[in-house]
Structure 1
Amino acid sequence: MTEPTVVSTTSTTARIVWETADKFLRDVVEEEDYGDFILPFTVLRRLECMLADSKEQVTKYVAALGGLPPHLIDIAVKDKFGLSFYNVSPLDLATIASVDDNVEKSLQSYIAGFSHNIADIWVAFDFARRAKMLAEANRLHAMVKHFSTLDLSPSRLANTAMGDVFEDVMYRAFNKKGKAAGGFYTPRDAIKLMVDILIANDDHSLAGESALRSIYDPTAGSGGMLLVAQEALRRMNEKVDVTLYGQELMPSAFGLGKADLLIQGGRPDAIKQGNTLVEDLYEGQTFDYVLSNPPFGKDWSADQKSVRDQANATGSRFSHGLPSTSDGQMLFLAHCAHKLSPAEKNGQGGRAAVVSNASPLFSSDKGPNAIRQWLLEEDLIDAIIALPAEMFYGTGIPTYVWILDKNKDLERKGKIQLIDGSGQWKPMRKPMGDKRREMRKGNRNLLLESYKAFEHADPAISRVMTPEDFMFRDVPVYKQARFAARFSEEAVATLRDRRDFTEAHIEVLRALDSTSWNDLPKSFPKAAQAAGLKAPIGLIDAVMQTTAVVDDSAPPAVDRKGNPVIADGWKVTERVPLSEDLTKHMKREVLPYAPDATWDERKAKHGNEIPFTRIFYVPKEPRSLSGIDSDVQKLMGELAEMFKAVSEND
């Protein structure tokens, strides 16, 4: 019976944090920017409440350490008090709010009292500037006083409950920003699906008191993926030791992510700030789980030199291929694959869930093609799941989740599962940015069960294929011409331009009229020799060219060397999966429609694509002609009545 109370407490607290603070920001701050002020104050108050009980002791202890370097003081405080951060300022929000003088100066002094390992949070939040802005509008004192009265202590709100409060406040903030929030806030329904499938095969190895798991997000944003994954693992085993790692480039998102992890008991250094493409801040480390929602269509021109230098190193994360500088999605996909822990003797290997748009599935550029080929050949792709459109805040386009696995279960080795979840959604009561649809628990469970069922899943939404099914040969297909030899004055006029052609050759050509064109390489020299004339090879070729007339009743044409002669304007490319026998494919797919077709496997170009939409396409049966005729007759009757009415009125 306690759960409803907890839910009520968190939702009420979130409402008070948002709505009451809203009163002090109206007409001073743009409504869409409310969160930029409310979130930092929420973090500040939570950290203050977390440190309140031991602050006096910690302050005295740090003072006694004298001039030790900050990082050594951090270690000492951690060892003695078990705190990963602290504050040594004599001030707190209540003290600052007790007087209305020098509020801004006092607040800045208070912030400066925090340990250096979380100082970057306030920089990322741009806290000093925002406090100054409120002070100049005469609202800072009211904000400080309001937050000083909120009880965000761990005794009232456990880490998970506080996480729910912060999540609620973040959602309200991002709901104001709408589409702009899409750059750093991934919808929780999408994350939950990714996590559910990511840990689906971890039930047995996760059991026990010594289970350890590491989770990494190279585009951590507000930290939601890391926290949702951690929560899911702890539901499976409350004693599991989970370590979180993240990297984020954008300062505001980094501040949110680090703060969110911190107020829920996480490490101060769990998320690091930096450009993942330029520098992997966890170089040399691999992880049990990797989650990422990299930016779609991110231009990486500014990072080009560093990325290309890395790509030159054999076996490096970018050595498998480079996409166009206009879209770096596949760089992140390759990076995530490289961060997976290798397979262990117990069968456990790293797994990743990476979001992308449709482009990485089929982009035919050299770089993306090479990266996909590497993923296919290494059997790293476990599954790809299509999400509904309008699922993300910043874009309404269709999106996909790539599930990568460094050590697949035996039944899944050498196979790739495609799951079509595009129809699994419910409309949102209130859209947020471009997000108008959500995947509820029932929708997610259906996809999870399809993943677990594997080859026994409903084929309407799940297909199991092999890597070779996605590798192909683009084979040139030609239609062989059919010619008859025809004498004409036009042919003679053309041949007269040649030095090796004489007037005496005309009668030879006339005698060969309507004979087999394919036999000309033999019949023309023989007839010329009989007439005492020469027939060099060049002249033979010229005669064949000038006397060739299309004749569908003639046999397929071959040139002097026996090679098929291709009909003008008839050349197509047939895409044949590498898993299919070429001859059988052509007999089934090409020859029934073009019996004269021929192909040249030597000139085939190899590539790969994952044609997700085509695989699940179900053609709609066209309307019957009788039904169309009936509608036309009905419309014609209605028009006749209208014309009749107009005529009668005249």
Structure 2
Amino acid sequence: MTEPAVASTSSTTARIVWETADKFLRDVVEEEDYGDFILPFTVLRRLECMLADSKEQVTKYVTALGGLPPHLIDIAVKDRFGLSFYNVSPLDLATIASVDDNVEKSLQSYIAGFSHNIADIWVAFDFTRRVKVLAEANRLHSVVKHFSTLNLSPSILKNTAMGDVFEDVMYRAFNKKGKAAGAFYTPRDAIKLMVDILITNDDHSLAGESALRSIYDPTAGSGGMLLVAQEALRRMNEKIDVTLYGQELMPSAFGLGKADLLIQGGRPDAIKQGNTLVEDLYEGQTFDYVLSNPPFGKDWSADQKPVREQAKVPGSRFSHGLPSTSDGQMLFLAHCAHKLSPAEKNGQGGRAAVVSNASPLFSSDNGPTEIRQWLLDEDLIDAIVALPTDMFYGTGIPTYVWILDTNKTPERKGKIQLIDGSGQYAPMRKPMGEKRREMRKGDRNVLLEAYRAFEHADPAISRVMTPEDFMFRDVPVYRQARFATRFSEEAVDELRSRRDFTVAHIKLLRSLDGTLWNELPKSFPQAAKAAGLKAPIGLVDAVMRVMAAPDDSAPPAVDRRGKPVIADGWKITERVPLSEDLAEHMKREVLPFAPDAAWDESKAKRGNEIPFMRIFYTPKKPRPLAEIDSEVQKLVAELAEMFKAVSEND
């Protein structure tokens, strides 16, 4: 069957599947919940069709095995028939639909006949409750009969075609849910861009009959990232051996992901259910490719006890720093970095593509700063790509893709590429939740080519930096005060309340008028001693304070200890990239505007940030005043005409 024919068959099948909603679900369930009923039945029918040819033989074989433990039966069936799952019930959908009695009970019995290694799919789908809802509405028989007539056999719909059908049905279902879909469904245009960039440097190593690749997603959702990556690799080499691994917490998303992989010939255990932050179900394993779209702003306070315990172990995934419990994105980023295969002599290593919002780029809390520093020090950040806003179903905020690599190509070592893809999009004809924009193939190719061009890419959308460019020193910059010594009655009045100040001191103060202010710590005690008066340190400081008069012609002021006196209201912090010479930076950025500014490098604080928007910011040239004035005059004239018309009508 040709590709257009396959696409047509997939589209038609998906449409027929979805017709269930209009025919049998309307007025029974909420429209946004249609998918919760249609998707499980689609999976059930596909599994049934996959097992149909060998079901009778498998049932006899399993019966003959008697009371063997389930996992041993699974191994035996796999060895004998090449099946990773099976069903030993004498029923099927057509048999159940042939009569309209006991449909609910028969369907539950049929589901119970599946091998234990896929039983969790039906639990995740909450299938028992869905069936009960349809049965109580007297619609279950009609739904079962409808699906029993659909030919979802692998001979008609190959794995990829069935994947397209499931994808289409999922899209329709999530389109009803709108914004809520964002919790477990990543837009395919975003995934395709991530995958394209992820595998583009591996073209040469993916060839050959013995090519092997592993793909992992710690927040697998509906499994889309794993499947899109697998499909891309097989387009490059149809003989490549790809193994998928995933972990997902949400039961509904886990059920979808596991089912989607299963109906396309995947392993039943490819996706495991569990909390990635609490327990890494693939501990000790690393992978060639890691993809993840972790939840933005996920509060991990409920998980902090096990996370903090793991963080105490040196070199562990969370040992590099812990972000605020209000946002766990950087925990997932650190986790993904740890799951990458280490660099090998043949040039291979692990690569990751991780979605985030802007917070991990510049959050100044200690935890995120430490995690970024670790990524920079280890030279793990290969590129960061800014996506258009309004790209995801659950949020319209700016998003970014971090590309991590444990074994960069020689020309990319010690460098980080920033790619601004925020302008590469087309508006969607029909928004879906918060998603109003999509990246078509042409948009994605612009960014892919920029990545490939690296240092030769268009600087309007691509910049190549070094890790040091993102590390900085926050240097305190101040302007040193300049004081002349001035006697005044106001100064005397301020000192009268002091016990160590006497009337006799007034004559001394008057004699010091006009002397160098910086010399007061010496001149005042000396004059006091000569007059037989005391001048304790507290009084010296008080005299310096009240007799200080700002004078730009005076020398820079220093206090009694010889330390610079900072001018009131003039103390700033200058952020200087670690890659820049401090003196040169100050000469260029500070001294032209404050010639007498000074700084203290010893008090500088180190940090890091990736100021993506600032790097690509291009100031817009203001409109000419004459043009603005012309428009104002035009508006004034129009208003005058309107007032005139109103007056004439009166």
TM-score by length of 2: 0.98
Structure 2 equivalent of residue 301 of structure 1: 301
Structure 2 equivalent of residue 138 of structure 1: 138
Pairwise CA distance, 1:579: 1.1
For residues 306-455 of structure 1, what are the structure 2 equivalents within 5 Å? Answer: 306-455=306-455
* Secondary structure class of the residue paired with 2:157: coil
Cα distance in 2, alignment partners of residues 208 and 150 from structure 1:
38
Letter in 1 for 2:104: E
Change (3 A) 1:642 1:111: closer
Cα distance in 1, alignment partners of residues 588 and 21 from structure 2:
70
Cα distance in 2, alignment partners of residues 501 and 126 from structure 1:
86
* Secondary structure class of the residue paired with 1:472: strand
Give yes or no for contact 2:20–2:143 (8 Å, CA) kept in 1. no
1:198 counterpart = 2:198: yes
Structure 2 equivalent of residue 215 of structure 1: 215
C-alpha offsets along residues 567-596 of structure 1, whole Å, 9 cap, x if unaligned? Answer: 112211111111111111111111111122
Pairwise CA distance, 1:530: 4.9
Pairwise CA distance, 1:502: 3.9
Pairwise CA distance, 1:564: 1.1
C-alpha offsets along residues 421-474 of structure 1, whole Å, 9 cap, x if unaligned? Answer: 000000111111111100000000000000011111000000111111111111
Letter in 2 for 1:50: M
Pairwise CA distance, 1:634: 2.5
Letter in 2 for 1:483: F
Structure 2 equivalent of residue 470 of structure 1: 470
Give yes or no for contact 1:336–1:352 (8 Å, CA) kept in 2. yes
Which stretch shifts more, 289-298 or 17-26? 17-26
Change (3 A) 1:644 1:105: closer
Change (3 A) 1:423 1:393: same
Letter in 2 for 1:279: E
Cα distance in 1, alignment partners of residues 525 and 434 from structure 2:
76
* Secondary structure class of the residue paired with 1:284: coil
* Secondary structure class of the residue paired with 1:201: helix
C-alpha offsets along residues 144-190 of structure 1, whole Å, 9 cap, x if unaligned? Answer: 11111111111111111111111111111111111111111100000
Change (3 A) 1:553 1:647: farther
Which stretch shifts more, 337-346 or 631-640? 631-640
Which residues of structure 1 form unaligned runs of 5+?
A: none
Structure 1 equivalent of residue 46 of structure 2: 46
Pairwise CA distance, 1:535: 4.2
Structure 2 equivalent of residue 72 of structure 1: 72
Letter in 2 for 1:617: Y
Structure 1 equivalent of residue 591 of structure 2: 591
Letter in 2 for 1:72: L
Cα distance in 1, alignment partners of residues 484 and 625 from structure 2:
44
Structure 2 equivalent of residue 259 of structure 1: 259
Which stretch shifts more, 557-566 or 54-63? 557-566
Pairwise CA RMSD: 1.5
Cα distance in 1, alignment partners of residues 144 and 534 from structure 2:
108
Cα distance in 1, alignment partners of residues 211 and 331 from structure 2:
32
Structure 2 equivalent of residue 121 of structure 1: 121
Give yes or no for contact 1:22–1:34 (8 Å, CA) kept in 2. no
Letter in 2 for 1:213: R
Cα distance in 2, alignment partners of residues 619 and 340 from structure 1:
40
Give yes or no for contact 1:21–1:146 (8 Å, CA) kept in 2. no
Identity of aligned residues (%): 88
1:524 counterpart = 2:524: yes
C-alpha offsets along residues 249-292 of structure 1, whole Å, 9 cap, x if unaligned? Answer: 11111011001000100000000001111111000000000000
C-alpha offsets along residues 76-121 of structure 1, whole Å, 9 cap, x if unaligned? Answer: 0000100000111111111111111111111111111111000111
Give yes or no for contact 1:286–1:339 (8 Å, CA) kept in 2. yes
Cα distance in 1, alignment partners of residues 27 and 101 from structure 2:
23
Query: Structure 1: which 4+ aligned runs deviate by more than 6 Å?
Result: none
Pairwise CA distance, 1:135: 1.0
Give yes or no for contact 1:477–1:599 (8 Å, CA) kept in 2. yes
For residues 158-169 of structure 1, what are the structure 2 equivalents within 5 Å? Answer: 158-169=158-169
Change (3 A) 1:646 1:37: closer
Pairwise CA distance, 1:364: 1.0
Structure 1 equivalent of residue 547 of structure 2: 547
Cα distance in 2, alignment partners of residues 507 and 624 from structure 1:
64
Cα distance in 2, alignment partners of residues 127 and 387 from structure 1:
37
Structure 2 equivalent of residue 175 of structure 1: 175
Pairwise CA distance, 1:598: 1.4
C-alpha offsets along residues 471-504 of structure 1, whole Å, 9 cap, x if unaligned? Answer: 1111111111111100111222333444544433
* Secondary structure class of the residue paired with 1:242: strand
Cα distance in 1, alignment partners of residues 74 and 643 from structure 2:
91
Structure 2 equivalent of residue 86 of structure 1: 86
* Secondary structure class of the residue paired with 1:46: helix
Give yes or no for contact 1:21–1:143 (8 Å, CA) kept in 2. no
Change (3 A) 1:239 1:562: same
Cα distance in 1, alignment partners of residues 649 and 9 from structure 2:
73
Cα distance in 2, alignment partners of residues 569 and 221 from structure 1:
53
Give yes or no for contact 1:179–1:393 (8 Å, CA) kept in 2. yes
Pairwise CA distance, 1:19: 1.3
Change (3 A) 1:245 1:496: same
Pairwise CA distance, 1:605: 1.6
Cα distance in 2, alignment partners of residues 495 and 536 from structure 1:
13
Cα distance in 2, alignment partners of residues 3 and 211 from structure 1:
25
C-alpha offsets along residues 499-544 of structure 1, whole Å, 9 cap, x if unaligned? Answer: 5444333223222212321232343344445545554444332221
* Secondary structure class of the residue paired with 2:66: coil
* Secondary structure class of the residue paired with 1:586: helix
Cα distance in 2, alignment partners of residues 83 and 169 from structure 1:
26
Letter in 2 for 1:520: L
For residues 488-499 of structure 1, what are the structure 2 equivalents within 5 Å? Answer: 488-499=488-499
Which stretch shifts more, 558-567 or 610-619? 558-567
Change (3 A) 1:132 1:643: closer
Give yes or no for contact 1:480–1:564 (8 Å, CA) kept in 2. yes
Q: How many residues align?
A: 650
* Secondary structure class of the residue paired with 1:561: coil
* Secondary structure class of the residue paired with 2:567: strand
Cα distance in 2, alignment partners of residues 536 and 33 from structure 1:
83
1:58 counterpart = 2:58: yes
Cα distance in 1, alignment partners of residues 67 and 223 from structure 2:
35
Cα distance in 1, alignment partners of residues 514 and 238 from structure 2:
90
* Secondary structure class of the residue paired with 2:219: coil
Structure 2 equivalent of residue 483 of structure 1: 483
Structure 2 equivalent of residue 232 of structure 1: 232
C-alpha offsets along residues 342-394 of structure 1, whole Å, 9 cap, x if unaligned? Answer: 01110111010000111111111111111111111111111100000000011
For residues 604-623 of structure 1, what are the structure 2 equivalents within 5 Å? Answer: 604-623=604-623
1:565 counterpart = 2:551: no
Give yes or no for contact 1:475–1:573 (8 Å, CA) kept in 2. yes
Which stretch shifts more, 14-23 or 153-162? 14-23
* Secondary structure class of the residue paired with 1:110: helix
C-alpha offsets along residues 177-231 of structure 1, whole Å, 9 cap, x if unaligned? Answer: 1111111110000000000000011011111111110000000000000000000
Cα distance in 2, alignment partners of residues 545 and 49 from structure 1:
92
Cα distance in 2, alignment partners of residues 149 and 387 from structure 1:
43
* Secondary structure class of the residue paired with 2:146: helix
Cα distance in 2, alignment partners of residues 529 and 415 from structure 1:
66
For residues 601-640 of structure 1, what are the structure 2 equivalents within 5 Å? Answer: 601-640=601-640
Cα distance in 1, alignment partners of residues 39 and 175 from structure 2:
14
Pairwise CA distance, 1:406: 0.8
Give yes or no for contact 2:20–2:38 (8 Å, CA) kept in 1. no
